[in-house]
Amino acid sequence: MATVGYELDDVQSTFPDWVIWRGASETGPQCWYATRRAVSLSAEQLNAGLAQTVCGDDAPSLVLELERQGEIASQLTRVASNQDGDI
């Protein structure tokens, strides 16, 4: 995966299938959040560990979570491909 800067625009451009934002409160910026664009996950995907929305305490933590979500999705795709080949 390409090196990701930790500015909001960098994270958004690296993960275009996600909407990225920072929470805010009276005391200033808070955690970083990401939610999937126009995707509703199935029960199987949720049970496998995919999430509709993820968060991190800071940008590097969010990037790690988004990368983890990508790894889980890849594993699910490989499993589905292997099952299709068994038919």
Dihedral class, residue 32 (left if φ above 0, else alpha if ψ from -120 to 50, else beta): beta
Residue 85 has what pLDDT?
65
Domain ranges of the chain: 8-81
Mean per-residue pLDDT over the chain, rounded: 89
pLDDT, tens digit, 9 for 90 and up, residues 38-53: 999 999 999 999 999 9
Residue 34 has what pLDDT?
97
Give the C-alpha separation, 24 to 74, whole Å: 32
| 21, containing H or E segment | strand 18-25
Instruction: Look at the chain and count its residues.
Output: 87
Q: Does pLDDT of 3 surpass 70? A: no
Give the C-alpha separation, 61 to 7, whole Å: 13
Give the model's confidence band at 83: pLDDT under 50 very low, under 70 low, under 90 confident, else very high: confident
Give the C-alpha separation, 22 to 43, whole Å: 27
Q: Does pLDDT of 29 surpass 80? A: no
